[in-house]
């Protein structure tokens, strides 16, 4: 066991006072602007999030990994950060926080952005929405500095400023009263560059000019943020230890063998296209796009060959041994999903034949009987439930699910920590509580505080899990895929 391991890569965390302050667009711009200068940036997103992470990934030109101390313990979060920054060619890690800097699950600020800053010993740049405010912002920054003094707020970026006079008052007030440098002042961006919907920014797969939006953010940051100061602040973290303990070395070859997802070294003794390797279909397109990179990598590490498929563009279901349908926005693609009857029928037939299927949120809806919006759109009909859509969130936040019934995926007594965020709701339910294997200790679930709808080898849930905190998930899906493959070969 090695404690207080020094971490070489410079790193910085972009935080704000609340959600909607503009830190995502600012983080995108900082990452893209740094990349434009030739820097190799490793992006991270704090908390449970797919959409922002997708934008950060596109800005960096590489996957964005989530760091979440609710769904995975501190040691594994540290491990994840180390694993994805271990390459010596990386120049800087940029972490985008979530919600307000000190917002957490309780009065102690558990799982807050500030707690992640302390855990990873990472300095904070605070993004301030300065709309209709001036000197008061200095009082707010001063409060943040004293609220948790061990959190190092080392720079401030003024966002949504009205003009030079507004900027000057803000800058002088903050630097005079707080002693923290203002390293940028950003005017309000045009909403057309970053259109929003009910869950925040529209995901990059649905946004045809996403690259143009990222370029616009990069230009704004390059013109209004002191990038050398961002790098200087990040460099103060160089060689500072984490506050967690690690049971691995992060030097030399060991750094590259740090395991994520399945908690073991990835060894591929046979090529991925070998006939004995189970094929797991991943439904991934603009309708189903919510996948943590860790989850997909965990399946590969467990021995699966991932096959990407789409009910929007594929004529039917290919030959696979298991299926993973993530979340997304089936409601914005309901017409197209309903129109591909062959694909819907193939999934229904596969479910009846015992194909292992794991579905989350949007995938749950697709496995249902129908989705009712402006009209009734038939879905696959695997599960006896009809879904509708609400103007308000029907489930939003972290979840704790307790497995209390037999099922192919989780042992009774297993506790899953995940999250849910959906506007869909159950309109008609033709099953019973006995069909669901989760009791929701925290969260809404499907209905009656139950979740985890199970039918044969089909498992569908509103609860999103992260493979870092549930390493047995990938192993189980791959094992079921192997069993199904042997069954079909007999």
Residue 151 DSSP SS3: coil
d(Cα 449, Cα 438) in Å, to the nearest integer? Answer: 8
Structural contact between residues 337 and 377, judged by C-beta atoms closer than 8 angstroms:
yes
Residue 238 DSSP SS3: coil
| CA angle (363 as vertex; 272, 401 as ends), nearest 5 | 100
d(Cα 123, Cα 12) in Å, to the nearest integer? Answer: 5
Structural tokens at position 202: 């529209």
Name the catalytic one among 35, 127, 144, 361: 361
Run of H or E including 83: helix 74-85
Structural tokens at position 120: 């990873």
Q: In Å, what is the CA distance from 70 to each residue of 117, 259, 323, 381, 450?
A: 15, 19, 27, 34, 21
| CA angle (258 as vertex; 252, 260 as ends), nearest 5 | 155
Structural contact between residues 201 and 194, judged by C-beta atoms closer than 8 angstroms:
yes
Say how many CA atoms lie within 13 Å of 284 toward its Cβ.
Answer: 13
Neighbours of 195 (CB within 10 A): 12
d(Cα 53, Cα 197) in Å, to the nearest integer? Answer: 16
d(Cα 312, Cα 335) in Å, to the nearest integer? Answer: 10
Dihedral sign, Cα of residue 29, residue 33, residue 35, residue 40? negative
Structural tokens at position 91: 């120049």
**Residue 454 appears among annotated catalytic residues:** no
Structural contact between residues 51 and 135, judged by C-beta atoms closer than 8 angstroms:
no
Structural contact between residues 476 and 469, judged by C-beta atoms closer than 8 angstroms:
no
Residue 23 DSSP SS3: helix
User: At which residue do the structure tokens 């030399």 appear?
Assistant: 252
Say how many CA atoms lie within 13 Å of 307 toward its Cβ.
Answer: 16
Say how many CA atoms lie within 13 Å of 471 toward its Cβ.
Answer: 13
Say how many CA atoms lie within 13 Å of 434 toward its Cβ.
Answer: 0
Any idea which residues carry the catalytic annotation? 361
């Amino acid at each position: 066991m090695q404690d207080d391991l020094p971490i070489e890569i410079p790193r910085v965390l972009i935080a704000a006072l609340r959600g909607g302050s503009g830190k995502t667009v600012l983080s995108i711009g900082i990452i893209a602007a740094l990349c434009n200068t030739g820097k190799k940036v490793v992006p991270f997103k704090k908390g449970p999030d797919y959409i922002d992470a997708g934008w950060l990934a596109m800005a960096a030109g590489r996957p964005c990994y989530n760091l979440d101390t609710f769904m995975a313990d501190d040691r594994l979060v540290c491990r994840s950060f180390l694993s994805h920054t271990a390459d010596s060619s990386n120049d800087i890690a940029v972490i985008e926080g979530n919600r307000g800097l000190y917002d957490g699950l309780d009065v102690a600020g558990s799982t807050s952005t500030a707690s992640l800053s302390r855990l990873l010993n990472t300095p904070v740049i605070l993004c301030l929405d300065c709309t209709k405010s001036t000197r008061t912002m200095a009082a707010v920054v001063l409060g943040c500095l004293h609220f948790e003094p061990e959190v190092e707020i080392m720079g401030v970026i003024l966002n949504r400023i009205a003009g030079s006079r507004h900027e000057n008052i803000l800058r002088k007030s903050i630097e005079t009263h707080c002693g923290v440098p203002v390293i940028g002042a950003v005017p309000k961006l045009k909403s057309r560059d970053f259109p929003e919907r009910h869950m925040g920014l529209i995901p990059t797969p649905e946004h045809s000019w996403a690259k143009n939006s990222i370029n616009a953010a990069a230009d704004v940051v390059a013109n209004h943020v002191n990038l050398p100061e961002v790098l200087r602040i990040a460099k103060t973290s160089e060689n500072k230890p984490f506050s967690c303990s690690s049971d691995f070395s992060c030097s030399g070859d060991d750094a590259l063998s740090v395991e994520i997802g399945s908690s073991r070294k990835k060894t591929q003794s046979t090529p991925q296209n070998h006939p004995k390797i189970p094929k797991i279909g991943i439904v991934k397109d603009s309708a189903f796009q919510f996948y943590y990179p860790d989850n997909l990598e965990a399946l590969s590490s467990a021995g699966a060959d991932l096959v990407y498929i789409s009910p929007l563009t594929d004529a039917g279901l290919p030959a696979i041994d298991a299926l993973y349908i993530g979340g997304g926005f089936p409601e914005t693609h309901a017409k197209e999903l309903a129109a591909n009857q062959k694909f819907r029928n193939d999934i229904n037939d596969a479910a009846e034949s015992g194909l292992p299927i794991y579905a989350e949120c949007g995938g749950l809806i697709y496995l249902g009987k129908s989705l009712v919006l402006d009209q009734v759109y038939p879905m696959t009909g695997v599960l006896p439930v009809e879904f509708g859509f609400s103007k308000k969130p029907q489930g939003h936040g972290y979840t704790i699910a307790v497995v209390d019934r037999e099922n192919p995926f989780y042992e009774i007594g297993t506790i899953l920590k995940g999250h849910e965020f959906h506007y869909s709701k159950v309109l008609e339910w033709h099953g019973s509580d006995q069909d669901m294997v989760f009791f929701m200790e925290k969260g809404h679930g499907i209905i009656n505080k139950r979740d985890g709808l199970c039918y044969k080898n089909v498992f569908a849930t509103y609860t999103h899990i992260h493979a870092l905190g549930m390493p047995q998930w990938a192993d189980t899906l791959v094992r079921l895929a192997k069993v199904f493959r042997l069954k079909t070969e007999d």
